[in-house]
Each structure stands twice: as structure tokens, then as C-alpha cells.
Amino acid sequence: MNILLIDDDEDCLDSLVNALESAGHWCDKFTFPGEAMEAYGQNQYDVVITDLNMSGMNGIQVLKRIRYLNPEAKVIINAGHGDLSTAIAAVNNGAYAFFVKPADLLELIETLEGIELEITEQMLILSMPGWLWI
């Protein structure tokens, strides 16, 4: 899958890129949310994984903007720290999942596999003969 990663921590980004690319995903990484949003507008991503606390634009703002541009977008929050109210706010704004750093990489990859399965199922349904847009 094509994944957009946004985090102001370069080491965290590099760690995620290594793990996700080893699992067969393609990653585009950004430390500045504004640049990431530009890339989102110019490319097609299956998933966005964003940090929560960043300068310029926080993860909830990124989530809201992406979901405004594409209500079906799959956005995962990977927060340096978070409490239940933050996780609830993320989910209420359309986050697919919420992880606290350091994210359990196996759990993150399983979450991505679930998203990939959803995308595949949706593509199969839409490609079925007789499918009508209602």
C-alpha cells in the first residue's frame, strides 16, 4: 500500500519507514504537516499515519483536513503520548486507529493488513458485473 507518514521526529519516521517497507509497503515521509498536505493533494495514498503533536498543524487538524478532502480516507494517529479523551477525539473525527508511541509494529502492520483487505473487498464489489451506482 501507499502510505503517507507525518511526524516531526525524524528518528520515529525512519523507524516506521524501515518497518513498513520491510512489510512490503511504499512510504512517503514528511516532518512538516504543510508539506505532507501538499503531497496528499498531488498523490494517491491508501493510508495516512500522523503524529499528534507537531508544530504548524497538529494531528487532529491533519485528520480533519484529510477527511474533508476524502471522507473515505484511512488515517491512523501515532501519538507520542495520549490519553483516553485524545483517542476519543481522534476517533470522533474519523481516525481509523490510535496508537501511542512507540507503536507496536506488529499491531500496526496487522491494522494496515486489515485496511488493505477492506480496500481489496471494496474494489472487488465495485468491479462486479451489474454493480449500479445509487
Burial class, 56, CB count within 10 angstroms (exposed 0-12 / middle 13-18 / buried 19+) = exposed
Domains in the chain, CATH or no CATH each: 2-127 (3.40.50.2300)
How much is the pLDDT for 43? 94
What is the number of alpha carbons within 13 Å of residue 101 lying toward its C-beta?
A: 17
Q: CA torsion 14→17→23→26, rounded to 10°?
A: -160
How much is the pLDDT for 77? 95
How much is the pLDDT for 132? 59
Pairing verdict, β 47-50 and 2-6: parallel
Report the alpha-carbon distance of residue 134 to residue 131 in Å, rounded. Answer: 9
How much is the pLDDT for 76? 97
Tens-level pLDDT at each residue, the chain (134 residues)? 999 999 999 999 999 999 999 999 999 999 999 999 999 999 999 999 999 999 889 999 999 999 999 999 999 999 987 778 888 989 999 999 999 988 899 999 999 999 999 988 887 777 766 655 55
- DSSP for 39-89 reads HHHHS--SEEEE-SS-SSS-HHHHHHHHHHH-TT-EEEEEESS--HHHHHH
How much is the pLDDT for 134? 53
